[in-house]
Amino acid sequence: MNAPLPTHLLPTVNAREVPAAFLDALQARFGAQCSTALAVREQHGRDESAFTHVPPPAAVVFAESTADVADAVRLCAKHRVPVIPFGVGSSLEGHLLAVHGGISIDVSRMNRVLHIHAEDLTATVQPGVTRKQLNEAVKSAGLFFPIDPGADASIGGMAATRASGTNAVRYGTMRENVLALEVVTARGEVIRTGSRARKSSAGYDLTRLLVGSEGTLGIMTEVTVRLYPLPEAISAAICSFPSIEAAVRTTIAIIQMGIPIARCELLDGGTVKMVNAYAKLGLREEPMLLMEFHGSPTGVQEQAEWVQEIAGEHGGQAFEWATTPEERTRLWTARHNAYFAAIQSKPGCRAISTDTCVPISRLADCLLDSVAEADASGLPYFLVGHVGDGNFHFGYLIDPDNPQERQTAEALNDRLVHRALALEGTCTGEHGVGLHKIGFLRDEAGEGAIEMMRTLKRALDPDNILNPGKIFAL
Amino acid sequence: MNAPLPTHLLPTVNAREVPAAFLDALQARFGAQCSTALAVREQHGRDESAFTHVPPPAAVVFAESTADVADAVRLCAKHRVPVIPFGVGSSLEGHLLAVHGGISIDVSRMNRVLHIHAEDLTATVQPGVTRKQLNEAVKSAGLFFPIDPGADASIGGMAATRASGTNAVRYGTMRENVLALEVVTARGEVIRTGSRARKSSAGYDLTRLLVGSEGTLGIMTEVTVRLYPLPEAISAAICSFPSIEAAVRTTIAIIQMGIPIARCELLDGGTVKMVNAYAKLGLREEPMLLMEFHGSPTGVQEQAEWVQEIAGEHGGQAFEWATTPEERTRLWTARHNAYFAAIQSKPGCRAISTDTCVPISRLADCLLDSVAEADASGLPYFLVGHVGDGNFHFGYLIDPDNPQERQTAEALNDRLVHRALALEGTCTGEHGVGLHKIGFLRDEAGEGAIEMMRTLKRALDPDNILNPGKIFAL
């Protein structure tokens, strides 16, 4: 295949040249912590997006401390070289691609859990700590960190993209769960935002401005997050439905009744089939909700009874319950493997993931029309959703070198996004804008809000060195 | 008395002259909607703070629409005249004082509930809608808006100060509950931020940047908030304790166990006495927790049992329960009247309110030392607290014309704030910075974060016309 892609589907590459003096200074400061090996650079110049064909960064610095990050950024500032922070590389929207050239700062060695304040339900971590690592670290204190985007992402990356995932319907997103940050600014200065207090009215909410700024306003070097007591009881269930609509209508009713469900995930029949093939789970190949309930034993039982009643009214059947950790893991395997199961179902493919999120009452309208369009296109896809939040993902499976498939997928995505915007939703519930949704964000936010974002960017990063080319065109 | 106050306790007044051409243009555009009557101006030049002696704004515009606000701001921008938005005037930190001169825009006539999307648990209101008005409007749909700062504040003012109050321990603050805004910028342009989706990663979080910006970055003309289903069961209780420490230790245990208590308020014995005198409630004049539980009947009962057990372990006694709305109102009257009861206890006084918030494990340390200091000072005070959040308020009752009392109160506040900061807390949990906490914010945030705030302010309001002189010195 290898035919050229239509240019409007390619990221604009505008790599500035990296001065030799800069690279010399970088290597003098960082020695073995700095690599210019092609394989290392290539690994840091891509993510899980379907974007390819972008040259890798000129060098990778493996930061081990805040001082490392600050020194690297100061060198970048002096030489006006772009700098892109890198956690585990699991972002989905081209966030890590060096479209303006420059270097990558890999923070995966900054992986220490600095403080666990169990008595205050907070933890402070370095940005390279992953969510699973954090959960291991706080488990013995009877606590957990609920944000679960699926991948074992870094806390820094999750904060930078305002990630959420399966538990957000009950516990909120990174927006609600990051309390404070330490950040290196575009000038290489180290500042702190927020405190460990649960709430504050102390000036501008710099924490929330930086959360979701995708590395374009500062590089996070410490993140303080909220923790939660492990629920006394946890119960998970799957339930099959005769149609996607029935599953969605069940979800809408659960949310509108205010049932404090902890997870409410949709898989369509085709996706269940992929998961069965991948992990031999033997699930009914029909639209399915995976749910989880947290609380006291009585509370969990009560929630489960309400939900069974609602599901029954919509034709839901075959509730399968899991109360032990092992059984729950088996059920959640289905959800967490969906992405990989789908990718394996079409060898060599990449997924173009959609990420719309709409008010809950609009969920059926938004989803069902998009299913019809996807089916009509003939493109294979998976469909999963954090439907309790009105958020769902199609993953259109394309051959990355087939322009026709990419164009079909992008057209489906385009129609879905504009449908979601017309329904008062957003183009991205949790993946961020990156390279891929720059046009969608413009349509969503309007020129006035985009201009305000640009004004903030210009003010905080006048030389445009922090992850340039992402979120909006300057 | 009337001795001059020490200058460091007075706000710096630096009123720019308002050009006659500006006032002419304003009156030509707004006619009877614009007032220069002294009584009207004076009413808009003060708030509930203990600041006095600041000249009132030069005029008050009674805006009736977004276009009114935009036109007024455009005129201000053209003539570089400061503009201060005004809701109901209940702020506590001098937010409304025209320290740089200029005009007030009163949005109290913008009091329409524009949309109630019961099926999505959202409402969109004009900024002059008060919280009680909103609750009346959504009650018949079985919903409520939980943020309750005590005063019947405007939603616009509550968003601008990132208000919270009694229910925040369960439902969060304005930070968590404002989904989207319509805002008039410093140039008089109208922009929209956010959407009605429950979560979003679509670019910079302008909504959260504007929430809590105290009118210094834009003037809100529409606010979209989250609503919640009215709980199936509500139960309120008061419990007396042998000491403040016992009440606080009970609170800490409740939070650390993760009990989803909806309200957890402290009154000290002296404050209960004031409330009894004011409203003849006949409560035991001892430290007291007022609590509220929301949920299913079983859930509420379960929470109540846990809390009674914890309270019992700390010497709590005399639980008095209230399950009917009338009984609950009687109990909450005690809490809501505390401020007015205290003010009435010393005729002619003003209250200097503290607003520190600390991590829950530090609450006893922070509070008990401050009680000892307040008792030693001889100044009368009230003490109430949203202690479930680690947030509490002393109100030192001073004669506003007595510099000695003011200085004593400010010295107590100063020590309390620095104690809270040393305990990783914040100088303001919910009242905002205004004029009064500019120095405290500097101590809390550090020069780097303050400079970032200043940079944002200069970028979005280069002529410094939006509520100048608040939050930080430029």
Give, in order, the Cα–Cα distances in Å from B65 to each of A282, B25, B33, B126, B216.
Answer: 60, 18, 12, 9, 20
Per DSSP bridges, beta strands A103-106 and A83-86 are: parallel
A103 neighbors A61 (Cβ within 8 angstroms) = yes
- CB-count exposure of residue A403 (10 Å: 0-12, 13-18, 19+): middle
Contacts 24+ apart (CB under 8 A), A20-24: A21/A79, A22/A75, A22/A76, A22/A78, A22/A79, A22/A81, A23/A58, A23/A59
Q: Are residues A102 and A118 in the same domain?
A: no
Percent of chain B past pLDDT 90, that is, above it, reads 88
pLDDT in tens, B286-345: 999 999 999 999 999 999 999 999 999 999 987 889 888 888 888 888 788 899 999 999
Type and span of the H or E element at A381: strand A381-386
On whether residue B250 sits in a domain, the answer given is yes
CATH number of B326's domain: 3.40.462.10
HSE-CB of B366 using CA atoms within 13 angstroms: 34
Give, in order, the Cα–Cα distances in Å from B206 to each of A28, A451, B127, B202, B211.
Answer: 40, 11, 17, 10, 8
Q: CA-nearest residue of chain A to B431?
A: A201
Type and span of the H or E element at A234: strand A233-240
On whether residue B282 sits in a domain, the answer given is yes
Contact A448 B191 (CB under 8 A): yes
pLDDT in tens, A288-312: 999 999 999 999 999 999 999 999 9
Per DSSP bridges, beta strands B83-86 and B103-106 are: parallel
Please state the domain count of chain A: 2
Residue A35 lies in domain: 7-106
Question: Pick from A204, A255, A258: which is nearest to B212 by CB?
Answer: A204
Contact A390 B197 (CB under 8 A): yes
pLDDT in tens, B381-440: 999 999 999 999 999 999 988 999 999 999 999 999 999 999 999 999 999 999 999 999
pLDDT at B3: 45
Q: Are residues B166 and B224 in the same domain?
A: yes
On whether residue A440 sits in a domain, the answer given is no
Per DSSP bridges, beta strands A113-117 and A122-125 are: antiparallel
Question: Pick from B201, B433, B455: which is nearest to A202 by CB?
Answer: B433
Q: Are residues A55 and A38 in the same domain?
A: yes
pLDDT at A13: 81
pLDDT at B69: 98
The reply to whether A182 touches chain B by the CB within 8 Å rule is: no
Question: Pick from B120, B192, B298: which is nearest to A359 by CB?
Answer: B120
For residue B162, pLDDT over 80 is answered with yes
On whether residue B449 sits in a domain, the answer given is no
Q: Which of A208, A229, A250 is the last residue of a domain?
A: A229
Q: Are residues B147 and B188 in the same domain?
A: yes
Distance from C-alpha of B161 to C-alpha of B159, rounded to nearest angstrom: 5
Q: Which residues of B touch A163 (CB under 8 A)?
A: 201
Contact A212 B199 (CB under 8 A): no
Type and span of the H or E element at B171: helix B168-171
Contact A256 B456 (CB under 8 A): no
pLDDT at B10: 63
CATH number of A64's domain: 3.30.43.10
Contact B191 A452 (CB under 8 A): yes
Distance from C-alpha of A85 to C-alpha of A44, rounded to nearest angstrom: 10
Phi, psi (rounded to 5 degrees) for A128: -85, -5
Question: Pick from A185, A202, A358: which is nearest to B426 by CB?
Answer: A202
How confident is the prediction for chain B on average, in pLDDT? 94
Q: Which of A64, A81, A106 is the last residue of a domain?
A: A106
pLDDT in tens, A259-299: 999 999 999 999 999 999 998 888 999 999 999 999 999 99
Q: Are residues A76 and A98 in the same domain?
A: yes
pLDDT in tens, A338-396: 999 999 999 999 899 999 999 999 999 999 999 999 999 999 999 999 999 999 999 99
Distance from C-alpha of A203 to C-alpha of B89, rounded to nearest angstrom: 20
Contact A460 B460 (CB under 8 A): no
Helical packing angle, B438-460 and B403-422, nearest 10°: 80
The whole-angstrom distance between B177's CA and the closest CA on chain A is 10
On whether residue A448 sits in a domain, the answer given is no
Sequence-distant (6+) residues with CB within 8 A of A246 are: A287, A314, A315, A316
Q: Are residues B268 and B415 in the same domain?
A: yes
B414 neighbors B365 (Cβ within 8 angstroms) = no
The whole-angstrom distance between B250's CA and the closest CA on chain A is 13
How confident is the prediction for chain A on average, in pLDDT? 94
Mutate to test the interface with A, among B121, B204, B357 (most CBs of A within 10 A): B204
Distance from C-alpha of B402 to C-alpha of B398, rounded to nearest angstrom: 7
pLDDT in tens, A420-438: 999 999 999 999 999 999 9
| ipTM (interface predicted TM) | 0.96
The whole-angstrom distance between A140's CA and the closest CA on chain B is 15
Q: Are residues B174 and B302 in the same domain?
A: no
CATH number of B162's domain: 3.30.465.10
Q: Which residues of A touch B161 (CB under 8 A)?
A: 201
Q: Which of A44, A76, A106 is the last residue of a domain?
A: A106
Give, in order, the Cα–Cα distances in Å from B276 to each of A275, B281, B324, B349, B440.
Answer: 65, 5, 21, 19, 34
The reply to whether B277 touches chain A by the CB within 8 Å rule is: no
Residue with tokens 């109630």: B116
The reply to whether A462 touches chain B by the CB within 8 Å rule is: no
Q: Are residues A167 and A83 in the same domain?
A: no
Q: In what order do the strands lie in the sheet with B350-353?
A: B317-322, B233-240, B288-295, B263-267, B381-386, B391-398, B350-353
- Write out residues 316-355 of B within 8 Å (CB-CB) of A: 355
On whether residue A308 sits in a domain, the answer given is no
Distance from C-alpha of A348 to C-alpha of A51, rounded to nearest angstrom: 14
Which tokens go with A359?
Answer: 């008010």
On whether residue A213 sits in a domain, the answer given is yes
For residue A235, pLDDT over 90 is answered with yes
Distance from C-alpha of A254 to C-alpha of B283, rounded to nearest angstrom: 41
Sequence-distant (6+) residues with CB within 8 A of A133 are: A111, A113
Q: Are residues B41 and B140 in the same domain?
A: no
Which tokens go with B151?
Answer: 């005063």
